[in-house]
Amino acid sequence: MLWIDKEKLLKELKKLNPKKVGVQFPEGLKSKAMEIADLLDYEVYIYGGNTYGACDVADEEMSFCDCLVHFGHAEIPMKFVIPVIFMEVYDNIDLIPSLEKNLDFLEKKGKNIGLTTTVQHILELKNAERFLKNRGFNIYIGKGTRRIKYDGQILGCNFSVCKSIEDKVDYFLYIGTGYFHPLGITLNTKKKVVAIDPYTGKIVDMENEKTKLLKKRYAVIEKAKEAERFGVIVSTKKGQFRMKEALNIKKDLEEIGKKAYILITGEIYPEKFRGFNFDACVISACPRIAIDDQPRYEKPILTVTEVNLLKETGEYRFDEIGGI
């Protein structure tokens, strides 16, 4: 069950003593918006747009408010135009049953485990660590860059907690749903990765998924080699704004005889670019846009690190946002 610390929220708001409060929710939490609005004894304004992470804070859009409460993500330290309260949302599901169910599988993989998850399960990670240690495993939980708030926490754009302990572990164990995060670990480290879904208890060795993803990405890269005109997309979202990388990409593309144009936007989705006559695009913003959304685009879209493979052969590298 999803859990929001409402007492903490009220205390944080009391410190600021605002009159107008903006609230921002990711898609999966928008159903909580009216409940939160009813709880707060302030003028409440609900942000209606999408939000994809702590990199995507609507402080400028909601600047008519005295503060903004951003729900669902752990803070990435950035400068905002109004005070921003980050309210993490946790899932209090017990992780132990899914681990117990898969002990035999884990033992065959090795005794030295790098343990990781997303912020939704971060409060339960210590319990998982204790359980596995009591079963004879050596557990390592890594520390990340400034972009990462908690030990063991990964983002879809940052896997520094894994790289910090890579040389100590036999493999990584990701606890959570979906394949994007564990795939990111496999492509950012040289270790095997196992993913356990705490809701179903299903366990997956990510090697097959990694192979399938790489086949798809190399196919997109090959198609992009035929392109002449590239749009290099820069997002205005604070935590995704990567102009330096975009300018380097433009230079790299021009060096191999391509035309490249910088395009500035907020939200990134296919309809925005159909009016432009690009043959392909490079997304310098969130790396998962190119990977997750490629089927929605008629033309190839690449990540920052995939551009290198247009001009030379080499090992595939997953794009990461390392700084703030």
pLDDT by residue (tens digit) across 183-216?
999 999 989 999 999 999 999 999 999 999 999 9
Could you tell me the CA-to-CA distances from 25 to 71, 92, 125, 248, 270 in Å, in that order?
A: 5, 19, 24, 34, 23
Could you say which of 3.40.50.11860, 3.40.50.720, 3.40.50.1100, 3.40.630.70 is the CATH number of the domain covering 218-311? 3.40.50.11860
| Residue type, position 233, single letter | I
Please state, in angstroms and rounded to a whole number, the distance separating the CA atoms of residues 108 and 202: 16
- The answer as to CATH 3.40.50.11840 being correct for domain 2-89 is yes
Rounded CA-CA distance 96/131 in Å is: 7
Tens-of-pLDDT digits for all 324 residues of the chain?
A: 788 899 999 999 999 999 999 999 999 899 999 999 999 999 999 999 988 899 999 999 999 999 999 999 999 999 999 999 999 999 989 999 999 999 999 999 999 999 999 999 999 999 999 999 999 999 999 999 999 999 999 999 999 999 999 999 999 999 999 999 999 999 999 899 999 999 999 999 999 999 999 999 999 999 999 999 999 999 999 899 999 999 999 999 999 999 999 999 988 888 888 889 999 999 999 988 999 889 899 999 999 999 999 988 788 988 988 776
Domain range list for the chain: 2-89, 96-205, 218-311
* pTM as predicted: 0.91
Contact 170, 193 (CB under 8 A): no
Indicate the class that CATH gives domain 96-205. Answer: alpha beta
Query: Residue 193 burial (CB < 10 Å; 0-12/13-18/19+)?
Result: buried
User: Are both 96-205 and 218-311 of the same fold?
Assistant: yes
